[in-house]
Amino acid sequence: MSLTLGGVQLLDADGELQRGWISVEGDRIVGIGYDDSAPADIKLDGRTVLPGFVDMHCHGGGGASYTSADPEQIARAAQTHLAHGTTTTNASLVSATYDDLERQIRALIPFVDDGTLNGIHLEGPWISPNYCGAHDPATLRDPHPDEVARIMDIGEGRISMVTIAPELPGAVTSIERIVATGAIAALGHTGADADHARAAVDAGATVATHLFNAMPPLLHRAAGPVGVLLTDPRVTVELISDGHHLGPEVVSLTMTTARERSALITDAMAAAGAGDGTYVLGDLEVRVTDGVARLVSNGSLAGSTLFMDSALRRAVRIAGVPLADASAAASVVPARTLCLADRGELAVGQRADLVVLDDEWAVERVMRAGQWVSGSR
Ligand SMILES: [Zn+2]
């Protein structure tokens, strides 16, 4: 039995919102049109329907953290973001000792297997001590290829992405090993120059972990990693559009330059949806004030309190990015980057992952694989 949502606003092929309808049967989209011809089972006049959001980089939410290795917390973090429209998510782990990482990876595997998570993202420990942001410097390691391969083996194919600093000894071989497992190698938390960045991309790296943050800046005679990652057509660049990690002009510049290669991420930590207060990220204490998360020790930004819908609204309303580009950056670009061909677009045959936004673009309802998500209001 199919279900048709009528009277909704949908982005058309020209990136304009048009009144139309969308039909779902089972877990798939089975029809879509830009007219009033289909009899609607549910009238959603004035609401905008976008593809479900795909978050490649997220540490937690709802007061819960993916590093906890606690099933209740893992489920709560994913559910909190799902209620805000994230129908596909990676669970990101900050740098930790190999023993802790092993425990955390094993705790996440069942949630990848049941579809709650797309995969696991290791944001460390093979990153630069000079650009470690909110990662505990005591846990950082050089990426010895055999050690990297051993950790990848623990994931048994569920590690989706690994962030690595390409200038570290062993990094290029490790990138090749990571890519050979089917995972994505991402560059980030790095002091790389342009040559290091190019070598990493040539070795198979395809993602820039939160471009601009935790790496040297773009200078007019030294483009650095940002210049390479921003211009290389093989690379998807992650952006934290929270108003604190990046200025609005930088979001606009990047999403124009790397159009169809920019992915909005949350990089959210436990405080997303849980309010100000004191939290931990890995083993480090974080204070959240007015929604901004900073390490207690040195004031470094420590992830965000974003949801994907707020990242999208900020990109459009504050950075002036066209809605169609922001929606692509929240859905189809990360989906294709993660090699997920069955989602990211509103099109016949795609998985029925839908976000219904009210006239203020707040999330009103979420559908994941054809099922309405409880807890989405
Ligand atoms: Zn992160």
The model's pLDDT over 141-151, given as tens digits with 9 standing for 90+, comes to 999 999 999 99
Instruction: State the pairing for strand pair 2-11/42-43.
Output: parallel
- What is the percentage of the chain residues whose pLDDT exceeds 70? 99
Length of the chain: 377
pLDDT score for 36: 86
Grade residue 155 by pLDDT with cuts at 50, 70 and 90: very high
pTM above 0.75, yes or no: yes
Distance, in Å, from the CA atom of 52 to the CA atom of 85, rounded to the nearest integer, reads 6
Q: Which residue(s) pair with 286 in the sheet?
A: 279, 295
Whether 377 shows a pLDDT value over 80: the answer reads no
Ligand 1 midpoint to CA 181 (Å):
22
Burial class of residue 59 (count of CB atoms within 10 Å of its CB; 0-12, 13-18, 19+): buried
- 29-49: average pLDDT: 94
* Preceding amide of 125 cis, omega within 30: yes
Whether 242 shows a pLDDT value over 70: the answer reads yes
Grade residue 295 by pLDDT with cuts at 50, 70 and 90: very high
pLDDT tens across 347-357, in order? 999 999 999 99
Q: Spot the catalytic one: 136, 232, 242, 267.
A: 267
| Amino acid occupying residue 364 | E
- 249-273: average pLDDT: 97
Distance, in Å, from the CA atom of 294 to the CA atom of 311, rounded to the nearest integer, reads 19
Pick left, alpha or beta for residue 62 (phi over 0 → left; psi -120 to 50 → alpha; otherwise beta).
Answer: left
Distance, in Å, from the CA atom of 261 to the CA atom of 259, rounded to the nearest integer, reads 5
Whether 346 shows a pLDDT value over 70: the answer reads yes
Which class is 2-50+346-372 in CATH?
A: mainly beta
The three-class DSSP label of residue 9 is strand
Burial class of residue 14 (count of CB atoms within 10 Å of its CB; 0-12, 13-18, 19+): exposed
267 is annotated as an active-site residue: yes
Ligand 1 midpoint to CA 58 (Å):
6
Distance, in Å, from the CA atom of 86 to the CA atom of 107, rounded to the nearest integer, reads 21
Question: Which stretch of DSSP H or E encloses residue 207?
Answer: strand 207-208
- What is the percentage of the chain residues whose pLDDT exceeds 90? 96
Ligand 1 midpoint to CA 94 (Å):
7
Could you give phi then psi for residue 176, rounded to 5 degrees?
Answer: -60, -40
What number of other Cβ atoms are within 10 A of residue 21's Cβ?
24
- 162-183: average pLDDT: 98
pLDDT score for 376: 60
Distance, in Å, from the CA atom of 267 to the CA atom of 258, rounded to the nearest integer, reads 20
pLDDT score for 375: 64
Whether 33 shows a pLDDT value over 80: the answer reads yes
- 296-307: average pLDDT: 93
What number of other Cβ atoms are within 10 A of residue 202's Cβ?
12
Distance, in Å, from the CA atom of 251 to the CA atom of 312, rounded to the nearest integer, reads 11
pLDDT score for 374: 81
pLDDT score for 53: 98
- 193-214: average pLDDT: 98
Give the angle subtended at the CA of 58 by the CAs of 209 and 263, to the nearest 5°: 50
The three-class DSSP label of residue 35 is coil
Ligand 1 midpoint to CA 240 (Å):
10
Ligand 1 midpoint to CA 290 (Å):
19
Ligand 1 midpoint to CA 318 (Å):
23
| Amino acid occupying residue 41 | D
Grade residue 225 by pLDDT with cuts at 50, 70 and 90: very high
- 171-185: average pLDDT: 98
- 25-54: average pLDDT: 95
Ligand 1 midpoint to CA 219 (Å):
24
Ligand 1 midpoint to CA 123 (Å):
6
Domain ranges in the chain?
A: 2-50+346-372, 52-337
pLDDT tens across 93-130, in order? 999 999 999 999 999 999 999 999 999 999 999 999 99
CATH superfamily of 52-337: Metal-dependent hydrolases (3.20.20.140)
